[in-house]
């Protein structure tokens, strides 16, 4: 680095540097401040959206006793905050309400909609629920396809046990036995699993 011997030289060097790079420095600082302001504004917007979605979800939960009112609240939540996790949770809640009321067709539709766009980490849980509903509707082929789409090892035990139930319902007793055994091997802790296997042995 060049060393300036006098104060005048230092002042001249600073003037020269500022003349050459001053506009770039000011422009860069302005861009940086604008980006920081934009980011903060975006973050505040995101927080506001999350809070609004949370409030809408809470409102939907309060209406959980009346299915029609719940459905309207969930549909409204999906319209205004469709890309939030709250919309998926509300749809799952509505699917459960439909299943509890015996409207399995509605439950299947809600679960299918959620499964199409939910986070990959949660999708296996939704698929398990969907397969159970499809099995209850007698849609064994659709249920089997739903179960075969579950690949995570964490859900292998539940998947294989349900697959065993499905195959048993279809009359494929050997396939059911193999599926139950696979569920045991996968570490399933279902208390009914061993009884299901024993029942097939008789």
Mind listing the pLDDT tens digit for each residue in 160-197? 999 999 999 999 999 999 999 999 999 888 889 889 98
pLDDT classification of 10: cutoffs 50, 70, 90:
low
pLDDT (0 to 100) of residue 31: 76
Answer whether residue 39 shows pLDDT above 70. no
Question: Residues 148-169: what's their mean pLDDT?
Answer: 92
Answer whether residue 61 shows pLDDT above 80. no
Given 118, 153, 187, the domain boundary residue is 118
| One domain, residues 39 and 110 | yes
| One domain, residues 81 and 152 | no
Q: Is 126 contained in some domain?
A: no
Q: Is 55 contained in some domain?
A: yes
Tokens at 47, concatenated? 């927080």
Q: Fill in the DSSP letter of residue 127.
A: H
3-state DSSP of 40-104? HHHHHHHHHHHHHHHHHHHHHHHCCCCHHHHHHHHHHHHHHHCCCHHHHHHHHHHHHHHHHCCCH
pLDDT (0 to 100) of residue 121: 85
Question: Residues 111-136: what's their mean pLDDT?
Answer: 90
pLDDT classification of 55: cutoffs 50, 70, 90:
low
| One domain, residues 157 and 196 | yes
Q: Which range of residues forms the domain containing residue 73?
A: 30-118
pLDDT (0 to 100) of residue 24: 72
Answer whether residue 59 shows pLDDT above 90. no
Q: Is 52 contained in some domain?
A: yes
How many structural domains compose the chain? 2
| One domain, residues 98 and 178 | no
| One domain, residues 106 and 151 | no
CA distances from 26 to 12, 15, 30, 38, 54 (A): 20, 15, 6, 18, 42
Q: What is the pTM of this model?
A: 0.64
pLDDT classification of 98: cutoffs 50, 70, 90:
confident
Q: Is 76 contained in some domain?
A: yes
Given 88, 118, 148, the domain boundary residue is 118
| One domain, residues 67 and 107 | yes
Residue 109 burial (CB count, 10 A) = 15
Please state, in angstroms and rounded to a whole number, the distance separating the CA atoms of residues 60 and 21: 58
| One domain, residues 108 and 143 | no
Q: Which residues contact 34 (CB under 8 A, 6 or more apart)?
A: none
| One domain, residues 39 and 103 | yes
Answer whether residue 45 shows pLDDT above 50. no
| One domain, residues 76 and 43 | yes
pLDDT (0 to 100) of residue 138: 92
| One domain, residues 110 and 145 | no
Please state, in angstroms and rounded to a whole number, the distance separating the CA atoms of residues 161 and 196: 9
Q: Is 6 contained in some domain?
A: no
Average pLDDT, the chain: 77
Burial 57-76 (b: 16+ CB within 10 A, else e): beebeeebeebeebbebbee
Most confidently modeled range among 4-13, 69-78, 145-154:
145-154
Q: Is 129 contained in some domain?
A: no
Q: Is 125 contained in some domain?
A: no
Please state, in angstroms and rounded to a whole number, the distance separating the CA atoms of residues 63 and 75: 13
Q: Is 68 contained in some domain?
A: yes
Please state, in angstroms and rounded to a whole number, the distance separating the CA atoms of residues 134 and 143: 5
| One domain, residues 72 and 148 | no
Among the listed residues 115, 139, 117, the one whose alpha carbon sits nearest the alpha carbon of residue 126 = 115
| One domain, residues 44 and 92 | yes
* Main-chain dihedrals φ then ψ at residue 149, nearest 5 degrees: -80, -10
């Amino acid at each position: 680095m060049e060393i300036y011997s006098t104060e005048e030289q230092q002042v001249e060097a600073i003037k020269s540097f500022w003349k050459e790079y001053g506009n770039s420095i000011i422009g860069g600082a302005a861009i940086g401040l604008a980006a920081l302001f934009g980011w903060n504004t975006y973050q505040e917007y995101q927080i506001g959206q999350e809070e609004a979605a949370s409030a809408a979800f809470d409102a939907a939960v309060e209406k959980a006793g009346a299915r029609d009112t719940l459905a309207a609240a969930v549909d409204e939540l999906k319209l205004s905050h469709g890309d939030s996790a709250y919309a998926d949770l509300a749809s799952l809640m509505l699917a459960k309400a439909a299943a509890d009321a015996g409207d399995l067709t509605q439950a299947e539709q809600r679960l299918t909609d959620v499964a199409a766009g939910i986070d990959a980490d949660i999708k296996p849980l939704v698929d398990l629920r969907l397969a159970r509903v499809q099995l209850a509707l007698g849609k064994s082929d659709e249920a089997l396809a739903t179960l075969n789409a579950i690949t995570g090892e964490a859900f292998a035990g539940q998947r294989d046990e349900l697959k065993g139930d499905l195959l048993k319902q279809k009359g494929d007793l050997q396939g059911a036995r193999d599926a139950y055994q696979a569920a045991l091997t996968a570490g399933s802790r279902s208390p009914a699993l061993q009884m299901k296997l024993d029942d097939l042995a008789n």
